[in-house]
Amino acid sequence: MERFCTCCGAEKQKQQSVCPQCRQAYDVRQRCAQMNPFGAGGIGWSTQVSHPSFKKNAGKNRIASIIFALIVCIIIFVVLLIKGDMELNSNGMRLFGILMAVLWGFWIIWMIAASIPKKDWEGVVAQKDSKLEEYYSRTGDNSNVRQSRMKYTVTIHKKDGSTKKITELDRTFWYDYLHEGETVRYHGTNMTYYEKFDKTHDSYLPCAGCESKRDPRENYCGRCGCILLKGQAVPSVIPPVFSSSQTGIQGVPQAAYCRGCGQPIRTGIRFCGSCGTPVS
């Protein structure tokens, strides 16, 4: 569900097609009709890795985790009562309290470990592998059942000489996005994200907040509101748009470009349609 303007990141207003904050169309295809998606991702490392939207999104995820943990506790309590494994007396409540203390203890330790910022690093995608893997799972009657799943692995050679392997089971999110020979940078503060140096050939950009696939012409994720990590724009990929109020030598129109991202901008607008920077 799209809840945020993909141009400026403000919350969307219902039954409106234009954002009241940046005055740009919510529909990126309408807003960026003259912009080629290929090339919109830009070249170079993003300068927005410390954007407050990532910290805000991480806080929302922690709150969602707390709510989920509370729901799990309620479900466990109800199931124990229904099965008769616990009674509503002092002994039963004491045992339930001990169980909850252990579960919440592990959960708190996991949350603390997950919130510790990871060190950023750079590397080159060296190899991609996929194979069918068999494993055993235990059923309700304690019997083992052999099952199979696909294992996808992306091997990255880091600059310090070490190797990082991204392993995914029955999903191909990073396996599909990363390609052999590409230079990537890992971001580990308020996110777990692998950014490409050259994003000009990407038909989509993964959101660093929720991992949804976004149109490269967008600036913010419409699902979680996090800014997209894009590089320096490539003006040559985009048809030039000229300002009628600016002319050069011998009356030749000169293009007006955004001071924030370098993209061409149309006259009469208050914010850049690519990055949302106010037009001075």
pTM: 0.70
The answer to whether residue 241 sits within a structural domain is: no
Domain at 122, CATH number? 2.40.50
Q: Rounded mean pLDDT of 22-30?
A: 89
Final residue belonging to a domain, choices 152, 169, 188: 188
Q: Is the pLDDT of residue 221 over 60?
A: yes
Looking at residue 75, its pLDDT comes to 86
Residue 79 to residue 154: CA distance in whole angstroms:
41
Of 91-95, 166-170, 173-177, the range with the lowest mean pLDDT is 91-95
Looking at residue 161, its pLDDT comes to 93
Q: Rounded mean pLDDT of 182-198?
A: 93
Looking at residue 246, its pLDDT comes to 36
The total number of structural domains that make up the chain: 2
Final residue belonging to a domain, choices 188, 204, 230: 188
Q: Which amino acid is it at 140? A: G
Which residues form the domain of 174? Answer: 118-188
Looking at residue 270, its pLDDT comes to 65
- State whether residue 133 is helix, strand or coil: strand
Final residue belonging to a domain, choices 72, 99, 115: 115
Looking at residue 269, its pLDDT comes to 62
The answer to whether residue 159 sits within a structural domain is: yes
The answer to whether residue 168 sits within a structural domain is: yes
Same domain, 78 and 109: yes
Structure tokens at 84: 């008769």
The answer to whether residue 175 sits within a structural domain is: yes
Same domain, 92 and 106: yes
b/e string for 6-37 if b means 16 or more Cβ within 10 A? bbbbeebeeeeeebebbebbbebeebbeebeb
Same domain, 108 and 139: no
